[in-house]
Amino acid sequence: MDTPLHLDPIRLMQEIGSFQRKLATGMNQLRGMREPGYANTPRELVYSEDKLKLWHMQGDRAPTAKTPTLIVYALVNTVWMTDLQPDRSLVRNLLAQGEDVYLIDWGYPDGADRWLTLDDYLNGYLDRCVDTVRERHGLDAINLLGICQGGVFSLCYSAMHPEKVKNLITMVTPVDLQTPDNMLSHWCRELDVDLFVDTLGNVPAGLMNWVYLTLKPLRLNQQKYLGVVDILDNPVELENFLRMERWIFDSPDQAGEAFRQFIKDFYQGNKLVKGGLVIGGRKIDLRELELPILNIYAEQDHLVPPDASRALGRRVGSTDYTELAFKGGHIGIYVSGRAQRDVPPAIHQWLRARD
Amino acid sequence: MSGQSGDFIKDWQGLAQQSWDAWLRQVQAAPAAAAAPPAGNDALQRTLAGLRGCFDWMQGVAAAGASQPGADWQTLLRSWAGSANQPFTQAFSGIDSTAAQGFVQQWQAWLQSAQAGGFAMPSATNGPVPAFGLQREQLMEQQELAAAIQAAAQANARYMALIQRANAQGLERLQARLAQRDAASPPIESLKALYDLWVDAVEEAYAEVALSDEFRSAYGDMVNTQMRVRQLQQRQTGQWCRELGMPTRDEVSALGARLQQLRRELRERGGNDAAAEILALRREVATLKRELAALAAKPAAVVKPKPAAAAKPKPVAAAKPRPAAKRATATAKAPARSAARPSSTRPRKR
């Protein structure tokens, strides 16, 4: 018979039956499970302000690096992706390499944070965190490791405060936000963001999650869960899955004014590339960035396409610019086995050569 | 599938449906002996929703076969994904949350509560009607709201039509791929294999549609018109609040904006000098701490009378800088893994 489909009813019935048996058995595993925690690497709170907390992460041994590194995460989702679980932790692996790591937890904005601008975030919160770390170490400048939107923040901050940043690492950071394959950028190009923020105030996390899910609706909302059936009898894998689900959906709202400015200047205006970006009255020009830069991007990133990140190399003034391509996606760059093996040592080696 | 008995498949379909329903009841009802899961319910619900979507998909394929025994595979697929069954559209509308609730549900819920309070929705069909008299402002605003709701409904329909287009184009891609499979290709023998092929095809089609100018425009319209409706709803609610002497959203927002501006001004005025002084003091303290630590690291020098014999701490060898390879692709060795330690607790959000 010349047909690509050989769907035998009896076999299909067996397939459905097997599927349901696995589910029924696996549900007993799911019932008793508590919500998985993150890696919770030991840490010391060294500064806090409003919802923000600045943590000094503690390794098994004293750092060998002379210059500390501050991780600047995005405002969307939480920084704990970098310290997800003990065997999948960028933070732990950097500490194990001898780096001295600080990270900013932006917290969960509420109505009181509705009016925070990018100026408040960068020249306020971030600047005070940088100063705190500098003071603790008696240094003029420290390293920044910016992730995704946090990478954009780190670029802008470095341009505004070059004397305070020694080395800059950007991970999965969009620079050209209007590459043809950037779906998020495409969708918000005709958004009336003034109306949007005036109406919503802070942008709800649930709405942000809905947008992210609709980037790949079937894969992220349906097919992904089909794979869970096969790991229901594996407590370790199941716990890993639930931990990731927690991280994905346990996300903060976005402070309205900062969101408005980010969409206008970066997604709609693409001002990092086209120029004209001003934050808190200070002009930001990537060509003035002369510090060493390591730009790490993910080759299968559906949120920040590689071209969006690679655009940085053509625009910075630095003569010490390095790119690192990672074979994986936007999240895999932190949690995959390959990421644990490749990324922290690469960062460490790059930093050590410039410490 | 074409050579099998339609009755058998119908029986199987019924059995499978009953089986799923029974299983779902069992899962949803916690056993008496076991405590209800304290957390992870969201994951459980989403897992079930996603799996139910897959199950519906499988059942739809089987049902298409049952309704047309003997039909060729292309007819079967067309029957399954016909106008009454939009599996991608259904999957799409299955993604929901309170914050991103569909427009129709939102405004209907609002309308019901407003109608309970005596609000009558004017028709927007024939355009606005000039109003006058004591109720002029309210009537004009109600008409404005009605027009906004209509515009949003139209924008939503336009958006959903594009989602349905992705569904149809996905099916065409699936059919084309199945037709292209040559004799050497292994046949599709399981629903899971067919499902995965369908997902690939529809996601590709959706990505094309979603990156089109038409989609961009429709997406913008959908969001903007929804926001316009919400804005008008907020305005009306604000008026009701004012009449009842309650604080309005606008008032609270204005206070928040002023407070934030005051905080900025305070920092600018008083913060700079103090910050510089604090910075200098902290640096001094940090220097003193390091000197103290260095002194503390030489206890032998105090105990033993001969300083020359005391063990000196070895300075950490500075790493030799390597020349940076411009735009080089770095490779690295595996890192040493740190052992897991007892977790510190982190306060939960909210």
Q: Is the pLDDT of residue B32 over 60?
A: no
Q: Are residues B171 and B248 in contact, defined by beta-carbon separation less than 8 angstroms?
A: no
Residue type, B229: V
Q: Which residues of A touch B287 (CB under 8 A)?
A: 138
Q: Is A108 within a domain? A: yes
Q: Which SS3 state, helix, strand or coil, does residue A64 take?
A: coil
Chain A touched by B141 (CB under 8 Å): no
Q: What is the pLDDT along chain A (355 residues), one digit of tens a residue?
A: 467 777 777 777 788 778 878 877 777 777 778 889 999 999 999 999 999 999 999 999 999 999 999 999 999 999 999 999 999 999 999 999 999 999 999 999 999 999 999 999 999 999 999 999 999 999 999 999 999 999 999 999 999 999 999 999 999 999 999 999 999 999 999 999 999 999 999 999 999 999 999 999 889 888 888 888 888 888 899 899 999 999 999 999 999 999 999 999 999 999 999 999 999 999 999 999 999 999 999 999 989 999 999 999 999 999 999 999 999 999 999 889 899 999 999 999 999 999 9
Give contacts of A 34-53 with B, CB under 8 A: 34-35, 37-43
Residue in B39, B195, B216 closest to A186 by CB: B216
Q: Which two tokens stand for residue B169?
A: 């184009």
pLDDT at B22: 57
- What is the SS3 assignment for B118? coil
pLDDT in tens, B245-301: 999 999 999 999 999 999 998 888 876 667 667 777 877 888 888 888 888 887 655
Residues of B in contact with A23 (CB under 8 A): 23, 27, 51
Q: How far apart are CA B268 and CA B275, in angstroms?
A: 10
| CA A184, A189, A191, A197 torsion-angle sign | positive
**SS3 call for B46:** helix
pLDDT band at B136 (very low <50, low <70, confident <90, very high): confident
Query: pLDDT (tens digit, 9 = 90+) per residue, A126-156?
Result: 999 999 999 999 999 999 999 999 999 999 9
CA distances from A281 to A39, A128, B233 (A): 40, 18, 36
What pLDDT is stored for residue B59 in this prediction?
Answer: 67
| Number of domains present in the structure of chain A | 1
Extended strands (E) in chain A: 43-49, 52-57, 69-72, 101-105, 142-147, 165-171, 277-279, 282-284, 293-298, 321-326
The helix or strand, by DSSP H or E, that contains position A227, with its residue range, turns out to be none
Nearest CA in chain A to B91: A218
3-state secondary structure of B71: coil
Domain enclosing residue A307, as ranges: 43-188+271-352
Closest to A279 (Cα-Cα) out of A126, A72, A109, A54: A126
More confident residue, B173 or B275: B173
Q: Note whether residue A327 is domain-resident.
A: yes
Residue B145, both tokens: 């709201």
Q: Which of B94, B199, B319 sits opposite A352 (nearest CB)?
A: B319
Q: What is the pLDDT of residue A222?
A: 84
Of the partner residues B190, B203, B224, the one whose CB lies closest to the CB of residue A191: B224
Do the domain assignments include residue A123? yes
Q: Grade residue B122 by pLDDT with cuts at 50, 70 and 90.
A: low
Q: How does residue B48 score in pLDDT terms, banded at 50, 70 and 90?
A: low
Given this model, what pLDDT does residue B134 score? 79
Chain A residues touching residue B188 (CB < 8 angstroms): 4-7
pLDDT at position B157 is: 92
Q: Which two tokens stand for residue B329?
A: 């692709």
- Answer positive or negative: Cα dihedral of B197, B201, B202, B207: positive
Maximum Cα–Cα distance across chain B: 104
B96 reaches A (C-beta below 8 A):
yes
Instruction: Name the residue among B97, B228, B330 with its Cβ closest to that of A209.
Output: B97
CB A255 within 8 A of CB A114: yes
Q: Does B29 touch chain A (CB under 8 A)?
A: no
The pLDDT assigned to B302 comes to 47
Q: CA of B335, closest CA in chain A: separation in Å?
A: 6
CA-nearest residue of chain B to A257? B257
Percentage of chain B surpassing pLDDT 70? 49
Residue B280 forms contact with A (CB below 8 Å): no
CB pairs under 8 A between A and B: 332
Residue tagged 């309070």 (tokens) = B117
Residue A236 lies in a domain: no
Q: Is the pLDDT of residue B130 over 50?
A: yes
Chain B nearest C-alpha distance from A154 (Å): 20
pLDDT > 70? residue B124: no
What is the C-alpha to C-alpha distance for residues A200 and A107, in angstroms, rounded to an integer?
19
* A283 min Cα distance to partner chain B (Å): 19
Helices (H), ranges, chain B: 6-28, 41-67, 73-80, 87-93, 103-116, 136-180, 191-210, 213-243, 249-266, 272-296, 299-303
CATH number for position A183: 3.40.50.1820
Looking at the domain assignment, is residue A29 inside a domain? no
B266 touches chain A (CB under 8 A): no
Q: What is the pLDDT of residues B203-237, one digit of tens each?
A: 999 999 999 999 999 999 999 999 999 999 999 99
Other CB atoms within a 10 A radius of the CB of residue A161 amount to: 18
DSSP bridge pairs for A47: A54
Q: How far is A276 from chain B (nearest CA, A)?
A: 24
User: What average pLDDT does chain B have?
Assistant: 70
d(CA B198, CA A98): 48
Q: Is the distance from CB of B238 to CB of B250 less than 8 angstroms?
A: yes
Of B301, B336, B90, nearest to A94 by C-alpha is B336
At residue A103, φ and ψ (nearest 5 deg) are: -145, 150
Q: Which residues of B touch A198 (CB under 8 A)?
A: 231
Whether residue B67 has pLDDT greater than 70: no
Please give the residue that has the higher pLDDT: either B200 or B47: B200
Pairing of β A69-72 and β A101-105: parallel
3-class secondary-structure state, position B72? coil
ipTM: 0.91
With bands split at pLDDT 50, 70 and 90, how would you rate the model's confidence at B29? low
From the CB of residue B344, how many other CB atoms can be counted at a distance below 10 Å? Answer: 12
Q: Strands, DSSP E only, in A99-222?
A: 101-105, 142-147, 165-171
Distance from CA of B305 to the nearest CA of A (A): 31
Half-sphere exposure of B35 (CA within 13 A, CB side): 6
Question: In degrees, to the nearest 5, what angle opens at C-alpha B259 toward C-alphas B258 and B263?
Answer: 115
Residue holding tokens 């020694």? A166
Say whether A242 and B318 touch across the interface (CB within 8 A).
no
Tell me the whole-structure pTM to 2 decimals.
0.80
Distance CA A275, CA A204 (A): 30
Residue A204 inside a domain? The answer is no
A277-279 and A282-284 beta bridge pairing:
antiparallel
**Residue A343: is it exposed, middle or buried by C-beta count within 10 angstroms (0-12/13-18/19+)?**
buried
CA B170, CA B164: separation in Å to the nearest integer? 10
Q: Report yes or no: A57 and A41 within 8 Å, Cβ to Cβ.
A: yes
Digit-coded pLDDT (tens) for B285-344:
888 888 888 888 876 554 444 444 444 444 434 334 343 334 434 433 333 333 333 333
To the query of whether residue A188 is one of the catalytic residues in this protein, the response is no
**Paired strand residues for A55:** A45, A103
Name the residue among B48, B81, B180 with its Cα closest to residue A27.
Answer: B48
CA angle B234, B239, B242 (to 5 degrees): 120
* Reported confidence tier of residue B171, pLDDT bands at 50, 70, 90: confident
Q: Is residue A200 part of a domain?
A: no
**Does the residue A213 lie in any domain?**
no
